[in-house]
Amino acid sequence: MTATRTEAPPTGPTRLTDADLDLLLLIRHFELALLDMFGRGELHGTTHTCLGQEYVPVALRPLLDDGDHVFSNHRGHGHYLARFADPHGLLAEVMGRQGAVCHGVGGSQHILRDRYLSTGVQGESAPVAAGVALHLKRAEPGRLALVYVGDGTWGEGAVYEALNMAALWELPLVLVVENNGIAQSTPTGVQLAGSIGGRARAFGVDHLLVTSTDTNTVRAELAPVLRRVRDRAAPQVVELLTHRVGPHSKGDDSRRPEEIGQARAHDWYARYAAAFPEQFSEHDERQRRYVADVVREVSGRPASRWEGIDRG
């Protein structure tokens, strides 16, 4: 009745390019820095970090071009950084400082930049992305709309309304499901009946399950699938079994220690460090320092301004 998770021990990581490793580590240290700042009371509001899931947008990065639309969700810092490599703009947004991508109005989970959009209501973006894909199919064939959703978000009816229309109208829509086995505090098994794969296929939509957390492997599995979406203009669901290493937002992790340990055991970070210690430690140190610089620099900026514009 409930979704099963493949919990085979992860296979060893492959060696990443320096650029990929840098991007992974940039995201990691960015998220750690945020939690750190929250812990010290330097941040206001809330945030959802993607610790453990960084490799998903990094694997996708070279498979997308600027003409593709990306729809992100609450857990979107990695999605943003993989697209724009702009930790200053994002941190400024989270902190409400000058240079913020959205002037501090949107904050962590409401970001619009070029063809990248995130918003905070789960599932709402799926039909919106279908609408964008409808336009792309006609006006810019070969381009696609990609939506990141979590496993929990498959509870929302909007997802099925979107899948149905995307399948009927053969839209170039990709749903990237970051199935981290949990929604806030609720394990997937008690909030999702059947399976995501079955749900996609029930609408005539192809589904690919990706269990690796190795950036190279994931990318290699995704590449032909995205190419097919572009060629055929048909929707696709890609489900990645991934692991949320951190809390849902800040400090609200009510999982048992074993469960958190399970997630940690799948974390690419420690495993990559063990497999490629030299490359890792050099880049890790570099990104840690880079992020520390970003934090220092952005923290020194004045408050963002939001003026003279149409406020509603």
Ligand X SMILES: Cc1ncc(C[n+]2csc(CCOP(=O)(O)OP(=O)(O)O)c2C)c(N)n1
In the complex, the residues that contact a second copy under the rule CB under 8 A are: 1-2, 154-161, 163-164, 167-168, 170, 190-195, 198-199, 201-205
CB of 178 to ligand X, least distance (A): 6
Q: Which does 229 bind (CB under 5 to 8 A by kind): ligand X, a second copy, Mg ion, none?
A: none
- The reply on whether position 134 binds other proteins by CB under 8 A is yes
Q: Which does 13 bind (CB under 5 to 8 A by kind): a second copy, other proteins, ligand X, none?
A: none
Please list the alpha-helical segments (H only) found in 173-307.
Answer: 188-191, 196-202, 215-232, 257-265, 268-275, 277-299
Binding pattern for the stretch 144-173 against ligand X, x by CB under 6 A and - elsewhere = ------xxxx--------------------
Q: Which does 75 bind (CB under 5 to 8 A by kind): Mg ion, other proteins, ligand X, none?
A: ligand X
Q: Which is nearer to Mg ion, 20 or 54 (CB)?
A: 54
Contacts of other proteins in 7-46 (CB under 8 A): 44-46
Applying CB under 6 A, among 28, 61, 69, 74 the residue interacting with ligand X is 74
Residue 108 near residue 50 (C-beta atoms within 8 A):
no
CB of 126 to a second copy, least distance (A): 10
Residue 258 tokens read as 């074993």
CA-based nearest residue to 119, from 70, 85, 184, 52: 70
User: What residues contact 16, with CB distance under 8 A and at least 6 apart?
Assistant: 24, 215, 216, 272, 276, 279
Backbone region of residue 194 per phi and psi (left: phi > 0; alpha: psi in -120 to 50; beta: other values):
left
- The reply on whether position 298 binds other proteins by CB under 8 A is no
Strands 69-72 and 145-150: parallel
Q: Report d(CA 288, CA 54) in Å as an integer.
A: 15
CB of 116 to other proteins, least distance (A): 11
Segment near other proteins (CB under 8 A); pick from 51-59, 164-172, 200-208, 229-237: 164-172
- The reply on whether position 145 binds other proteins by CB under 8 A is yes
Residue 276 tokens read as 């490629």
Residue 77 tokens read as 């810092």
User: What residues contact 293, with CB distance under 8 A and at least 6 apart?
Assistant: none
- The reply on whether position 236 binds other proteins by CB under 8 A is no
Q: Binding residues for Mg ion, per CB under 5 A?
A: 150-152, 180, 183
